[in-house]
Amino acid sequence: MWSRPEYAFTLLLAVLMLLAGCGYHLSSAAPVALPQGMTRLALDSVSQPSTESWMEPYLRRSLRDELARRGQITWVSRDAAQGLIRLKVTSYSDSGLRQSSDEDTVKSEIRIAGEAQIFESASSQRVWNSGQVQTNVSYQTDNESSTAAGKDAVDDFIERLVDRLGSGF
């Protein structure tokens, strides 16, 4: 007879196969369609309030990578673009959550909130707005750096923004 871990694994595998057979997939792998059939994009602006020097270039790269991975998108110059993306991070914080008896912070949390918008480049008309998106990432301060956790938070934030493209315009 099967032991419990083998039974649980087999059951999990069967459920995953059933869901895959029904066409279910994780949202982070779901393809997205841009408004008005756009395929050529330019990143118009990125604004963020933090003093982290790595953050703006990382936001740009993460957004470009996520959209390229999940959509039929070509990144072009502003002049050749059908759509312009504006990304605005409205808040970024890195705060201690729990302290040890010696008052050393042992767990911290990074929070990011913001939104993205797509504008039709010829008319400057807004064709999509993500609405406010927020993500929180916790990390242990003794074995994970704040920058690595911040990059994880940015990736999660961007993934949630792009998920909104799959929700309609």
Please tell me the predicted confidence (pLDDT) of residue 26. Answer: 46
Same domain, 44 and 22: no
Report pTM.
0.76
Q: Does residue 152 carry a pLDDT above 90?
A: yes
Same domain, 41 and 2: no
Please report, for residues 105, 107, 113, 140, 148, the alpha-carbon distance to residue 99 in angstroms, rounded to integers and kept in the order given. 4, 7, 25, 11, 20
Please tell me the predicted confidence (pLDDT) of residue 18. Answer: 53
Same domain, 9 and 72: no
Same domain, 60 and 13: no
What is the span of the domain harbouring residue 5? Answer: 1-30
Same domain, 45 and 12: no
Per-residue pLDDT of 73-83, as tens digits, reads 999 999 999 99
Same domain, 20 and 86: no
Per-residue pLDDT of 122-145, as tens digits, reads 999 999 999 999 999 988 775 557
Residue 131: CATH number of its domain: 3.30.160.150
- Tell me phi and psi for residue 78, to 5 degrees: -55, -40
Q: What Rg do the C-alpha atoms of the chain give, in angstroms?
A: 20
More confident call, 16 vs 108: 108
Give the chain's domain count. 2
Same domain, 21 and 72: no
Same domain, 138 and 59: yes
pLDDT band at 3; cut points 50, 70, 90:
low
Q: What is the DSSP string of the chain?
A: ---HHHHHHHHHHHHHHHHHHTT---GGG-----GGG--EEEEEEEE-----TTHHHHHHHHHHHHHHHHS--EE--GGG-SEEEEEEEEEEEEEEEEE-TTS-EEEEEEEEEEEEEEEETTT--EEEE---EEEEEEEETTTS-HHHHHHHHHHHHHHHHHHGGGG--
Same domain, 36 and 26: no
Same domain, 60 and 105: yes
Same domain, 54 and 4: no
Per-residue pLDDT of 27-75, as tens digits, reads 456 678 888 899 999 999 999 999 999 999 999 999 999 999 998 899 9
Looking at the chain, how many residues does it have? 169
